[in-house]
Amino acid sequence: MRHSPIPLSLVRALMAVVLLFASFTPLPAIAEGGEGPPPEHDGLDRGVDELLHRYAHQLYFTENKGQFSDGVLFRADFPLGQALATPEGMLVKAYDPDAVAEREAEGMRIEKEVQDGKPARPLRWQERGHGWMLHFVNASPLMHVESDGAHDDTFNYFLGAKEDHAQDVHNYREVWYKEVYANTDVRYYAAEDGALEYDIICRPGSEPREIQLELRGIEKLRVAEDGGLILPTSLGELKFPAPIVYQGDKEGERPVEARYVVRGNTVRFALGTYDRTRPLIIDPIALRWATWVNTNSTGDNHGHCIWVDPNDGAIYVVARVVGTTDNITVGAFDETANGNLEMIVGKYFEPANIGDSGTRVWQTYIGGNGDDNPYAMEQGPDGNLYITGYTSSTNFPLLGGPVFSGSSVDQQAQSGTDVFVLKINTIGNSIKAAVVGGNGSDDNFDVRLAANGDVFVCGSTNSTNLLTLNAGSGASNTNNGGTDVFLFRITQDLSSIVWMRNYGGSSADQASIMLYDAVSDDLFLGGNTSSTNFPTVNPRQSTRGGSSAGFLQRMSGSTAAITWSSYFSSSSGDDANLLCMSFNTDRSEIYFGGVTEGLNSANITTGSYDTSHNGSNDFYVARMGIDQTFIAGTYIGGSGNEVNMMGLNTDQNNDVFIFGYTGSTNFPTSSAPNVPLQTGNQGNNDKVFLKLEHDLSALLFSTYFGGSQDDYDPVGERGIKFSNCRIYTIVTSESNNLPLTQGALNTTKNSSSSIYEPGLVVWANPPDLLGNTINYTGTAICAGTTPGDIQGSLPSYVLPTIVRNNVASAYPSLGSATTYQWQISADSLNWTDIPGATSQDLSGSAIGPIFETTYIRRIIGGDACILAGAADQVVTVRIMSVTGTVT
């Protein structure tokens, strides 16, 4: 249960009773009267907002060495309240925010008077607040208070006489009331927004029906019609949400009935039937950090692609703006916009801790006197970032800064648009670029890197002089009709074309996405065609099907020789666009997707998540072996229009993350325990972010993510990047109430509501954890001996405060992080599940005798990604070595 130290608007409060066989948590609390509290509580809401913006979600429980009143064991102070841990229970004190604000204002007035030469006068302030004790009725005589999670710093209190001074006073992150009832503990700690939160932890053998919580200082508790708990105070009414209990596994969740039972100022919990033997399986995803990239553009600004450096976690974003924008850093490569449509490149770091501020390292314009539109980015083996798109500039910058040198391919004297390939170093102060294209329109949509650093580029062209310009490359001077596929390989220094291909059928053809396997030297190409005679080789599907279709090809990265080429067919009269693609972990399969009005029936499989088209354009995702063995295909969508799939990535479990835009108001979203951030479309088009099971049979997570205006980008297939259990997306929105997070670099959109701006969004799977440790206290043991037990802590999820147009709100509750799996390894690299080891602690008998150094770890979150040090913890059991001497 969370007690924000603010009256009434404890709309951020949640109650959690964590059972090792079940968990119940509330829905987000709702203030009386709809979306906000009644007008007479505006001052209290301002206090909530002030607290959330001022408090850095660090909680200090300070031990009492005589500096506090007798009977206080630990004290935690908030800007608008206080918590006192006593032997009888936790005393919570909330101040009236208006009174606190008046005190601060009066203090400022006195300080100003002193600065003006006037004598100091006493501060006249009347404290107004309300306090209550959280007292557990009929608690066990074994109940005692412990602290956990010591802060590094200590305090000294030099108050009064020397003998009353308190020195070397320690501070702690958590206070635990242990054995409140048999096998039941209570843990107090800081919530993600700095509020006081507590969990009731019921271990096996506990009896939840014994739990009775008396709120001393509160009279006449009552249960609201929606099941929430109403607390009347002298400062207004507080409302806690109704508890919710779930049990289940990956095959489905089973809700358990839960409600408050109130008598006077005492509340207990009534639970329906539940199975104490069943574990709770939760694989949650949560927003971690979200910020605007730009906020004050003079024209539309769209985010197109994103990359994450696996070595240091640096995030690189690419956008384009019509006109000028803000947040271009001082000393950037180019601080001035040069043309009509300008490229923006930026480097960021996300915060280490939830709620902290991230870092914008640098951000720069790049471009010439025309339109420069970037679409894709990837990091090369040399560490530099390679970006590609199209340009109409006649002076696109080919070289700049101190790092790069030498000439590069320059064909920007040709008419129409050309393809640019640009590399920029990670410091952001040097670039080198090539411009490739002919006498028509040459566009580019993706880039990949070979092991030697050569660059693959794909797109479309209708030029008729590519062979003339690139003699010996394998290009053609023929346009087959409409636009043709355009594909080339250029050296790492951008000085020469290795090979080039342009081909297609009699109508429009375009390559949109690529994959490259450096081990096999296979290049996989995907795109769209309207041609009925698109060139096929050993095809899985030899006909277009509907009005347009996708296509897939496998070819040699060294020679561009095609192994197979096939349509990915639509249904009769319908369109299909193939936009995104990703390998599985061993690169034996490809996952690909896009949007479609309907697919050939052979491309949707029985047992997939959704076998029926839902209306207008749907998303689709397919899974296929690299030998064209088709494995699975599914639709995903609502009754409206899914307008663009901006990216598709797989994780280490081969589950599929997808980011896109939809106009549907009924796009499928997930339910508890995989709680979405947003369950509905906020207006016009919205972003959606989702995760599919690796076999495409189930929707593991899905959420809307948007504001009240239009959230939309028509082009871009590299807008998502999975890295180290986090998923990074670059988004585009007109909305000034896009959901951002506390710690965002910018939370205010200053441009017109008709202008799009880009944002950077980071999701965590699993979410950050607090208090996740395991401990083995034994020493080295003899070979063949069974080790002792390993104790594990009870961690909790750390969630950000959501900020929409500078209005803060709590993140939806995800419940408790109580899904455990213990694993064993001989080398700390290859891990095996320990059968039946799914409890918080691990008994030595479950491990059995060991004969070599053995590594034991506990992972959190079912089959979720394992984030080293966060979602898992490792201990090492060593074998004793004895050297004997023969005499």
Q: What percent of the chain has pLDDT over 70?
A: 83
Report the distance separating Cα 460 and Cα 442, nearest Å.
6
Give the pLDDT confidence of 64-94 residue by residue, as tens digits: 988 888 899 999 887 667 889 999 999 988 7
Report the percent of the chain where pLDDT is more than 90.
54
pLDDT at position 508 is 97
Two structure tokens written together for 101:
């604000």
What is the distance between the alpha carbons of residues 426 and 424, in angstroms, rounded to a whole number?
7
**Contact yes or no for 316/307 (Cβ under 8 A):** yes
**pLDDT band at residue 202 using 50, 70 and 90 as cut-offs:** low
Asked whether the bond before 766 is cis by omega within 30 degrees of 0, the reply is yes
Structure tokens at 376: 């894709």
Residue 3 clears pLDDT 60, i.e. is over it:
no
Asked if residues 290 and 744 have their Cβ atoms less than 8 Å apart, the reply is yes
State yes or no: pLDDT of 7 exceeds 50: no
Give the pLDDT score at 855.
86
How much is the CA Rg of the chain, to the nearest whole Å?
30
Give the residue from 679, 649, 644, 646 showing the smallest Cα distance to 665.
Answer: 679
Reported pTM: 0.69
Q: What is the pLDDT of residues 486-540, one digit of tens each?
A: 999 999 999 999 999 999 999 999 999 999 999 999 999 999 999 999 999 999 9
Mean pLDDT of the chain: 84
Q: Which helix (H) or strand (E) holds 755?
A: none
> Can you list the domains of the chain with their CATH numbers?
2-117+126-271 (no CATH), 769-877 (2.60.40)
Strands of the 372-379 sheet, one edge to the other: 372-379, 385-391, 418-424, 431-436, 399-400
Average pLDDT (24-50) is: 31
pLDDT at 653: 84
Q: Which of 413-417, 451-455, 637-641, 780-784 has the lowest mean pLDDT?
A: 780-784
Residue with tokens 């180019």: 334
What is the pLDDT averaged over residues 326-332?
Answer: 94
Chain position carrying tokens 């229009």: 641
| Mean pLDDT value across residues 200-215 | 75
pLDDT tens digits for range 611-668: 999 989 999 999 999 999 999 999 999 999 999 999 999 998 899 999 999 999 999 9
**pLDDT of amino acid 247:** 41
Q: Once rounded to an integer, what is the mean pLDDT over residues 95-111?
A: 72
Mean pLDDT, residues 151-177 taken together: 81
